[in-house]
Every structure is written in structure tokens, then in C-alpha cells.
Amino acid sequence: MYGGWAIGIALSLAASLFGTVGKVLMKLAHVHQGSFLLLALATFCVLILNPVFDAWSFAFAAQSVLAPMAGFSVVWNIVLAPYILKEKLSPQVLHGSLIILVGCAIVGLTGSHISPTHTPNELFSLFTTMRFIVYAIISIVLMLGLIWIISTYSTHSSWRRFAFGALSGLIGGNLFFTKTAVELMGKGSQVWECTETYFIIIFALGCPALGIYVLNLGLKEYDALHIVAIYESFLILCGSISGVIFFHEDQGMTAWWQQLLYPISIITTIAGVIVLSKTSGPNSPIGEKAPLMQSKKPVNLVTERV
């Protein structure tokens, strides 16, 4: 659908808003010793509203364009956290978030704006291409390495904190399952005669849920700012790269400036994560009651009458 990528972006932004609300409520529930109501609302936002709007967006736009939209979660985070969790913003949080937003914006501009449709057989065959098999092997090895870090490193290790966010993002970033499932559901009743359809739908539902489960485990031990930032960044990276690899969306990036700026935008996003990760030191509080945003020097917002 020509121009449909704009509709897809709007739906994806709504999905990221619901997802951020859910994550903030999840952290608030931990602060209030596991409030059932807060956990229920968080679950509804994260596992119902977020994936529904997210899946809907894939019917309109390419994965390489939609994946970076998850980065807008940092904007919703900045807007919601001070009011819901009563915490203060630090300059580094603002700077890191701005860098991430710039990276996400460039990815959205340079990504493929073409979202071709496929037949069911074409979709199934994408799982057997050599480039996807190599990607799958690398992803599995990385996940196993992150699980090993979580299992062996101490609670106060920054590597263990990083591993929680990275692992949840890598798992949840397998967005090609979601886009494939959305395409298959629009192909008619014949797709339900294929066993592959059911496996794809299971992974499309299971990967986001498992990613949020790992994220929730990390939120119980570490401050939400770092865990969520790392989660969102790996979600963006994995979603963008897997879209290019699985759906061959690099074919929609024919201009030289797209091929140049797309990897630069990914590096920019990582730089934003590094800035955010420096907002607390080794003596920063950890655990369920650690603040979402920490600051030695709070930002004073001054309103001036003209």
C-alpha cells in the first residue's frame, strides 16, 4: 500500500505508548510489593494493547521502518516516569534519550518504505535462506551467552544488568514472526492447512511474551531506566537487522545515502544507550525500589510569563 508506511508508523507509536505505560506500571507494582491491580493493568497494556497495535502496524509498513519506532518509548518514559513514579530527570537521561531518538528517526527515514506482499510458500521459504540461517545461529549463540552471564555473575555486576536487558530485547526483537503471521492471516483459509502457519503464530505470540518475562525478572533486581533502555535498544537493533535479513528489505534501500545512514543510525542508537548506562555508578541502588531515573543534579524546569 503506497504511503501506508505512515499509517504503520502511527500505529507503531501507539503500540510503543501502551508498552511503556505497561512497563512503568510493572515497575510501580514492584515498588508497591506486587500489587495485583497494577500487575493486571501492566499485563493488559504489555501483552494485549501493545502487540495488537504492533501487529496491526505490520500490515502497512516494512519491519525495518517499524522496529525503530520502539525507540519512542524513551519519550513516553520521560513524560510518564516523573508523574507516575515521582522521580526527577537528570541531564544525562535527557541527552541519552535525545541521541536514541535521533538514531531512531534516521533509521525510520533511511529504512525501506516498500512493503511487498508474499505468497504463503514464499513466506515459508524465507526461513530456509542461508542468510537467515546464519542470523538464527548467531542469535541463538548470543542468547546462550547472555543466559550464562545472568546465571553466573553476581547481582551487583553491570554485565548481569546489561544481560537482562539485552536478552529480553533479542528475544522480543524477532519481529519477522509477527509480520509473517499478519501476512499469512490475510491469505485466506488455505494457510491453516499448513503446519508452518501454526509454528509461526506460536513464535509470533511467544517471543514478545518471553521477552517481557525476562524483562520483568530484570526489573525485580535493577533500576528500570537501564533495563528498559537496553531492552528497547536491542529490540530496535534486532528488529531492524532481522527485517533486512529475513524480508530482504535492503532491496528497498537503493539510494547511496540510505545504505550509508542506515548503519550509522544503528550506531547512534547504541551511543544513546551508552550515555544512559552512565547515569548511575557502582554504588547506585538496585532492586525493586530503585528509582526509574537517578540524578545528582535535577533538571529545573522554569516557566516564564511573556
Percent of the chain with pLDDT over 90: 24
- pLDDT higher for 60 or 176? 176
Give the model confidence (pLDDT) of 186-221 as tens digits. 888 889 999 999 999 999 989 988 998 999 899 888
Domain of residue 186, residue span: 4-277
In-domain check, residue 220: yes
In-domain check, residue 286: no
Residue 170, pLDDT above cutoff 90: yes
Q: Which spans in 111-255 are helix H?
A: 120-125, 130-152, 158-172, 176-185, 195-219, 224-247
In-domain check, residue 120: yes
Which range (95-104, 192-201, 266-275, 278-287) has the least confidence?
278-287
Residue 69, pLDDT above cutoff 70: yes
The alpha carbon dihedral of 112, 107, 59, 207 has a sign of positive
Cβ 103 vs Cβ 169: under 8 Å: no
In-domain check, residue 303: no
In-domain check, residue 50: yes
Query: Given pLDDT bands bounded at 50, 70 and 90, which one contains residue 304?
Result: very low
pLDDT confidence of residue 291: 43
In-domain check, residue 74: yes
Which range (72-76, 99-103, 163-167, 245-249) has the least confidence?
72-76
Average of per-residue pLDDT across 23-34: 75
Cβ 106 vs Cβ 257: under 8 Å: no
Domain count, the chain: 1
Cβ 60 vs Cβ 8: under 8 Å: yes
In-domain check, residue 215: yes
Residue 305, pLDDT above cutoff 70: no
Cβ 26 vs Cβ 83: under 8 Å: no
In-domain check, residue 298: no
pLDDT confidence of residue 288: 38
Cβ 51 vs Cβ 181: under 8 Å: no
Please state, in angstroms and rounded to a whole number, the distance separating the CA atoms of residues 148 and 170: 15
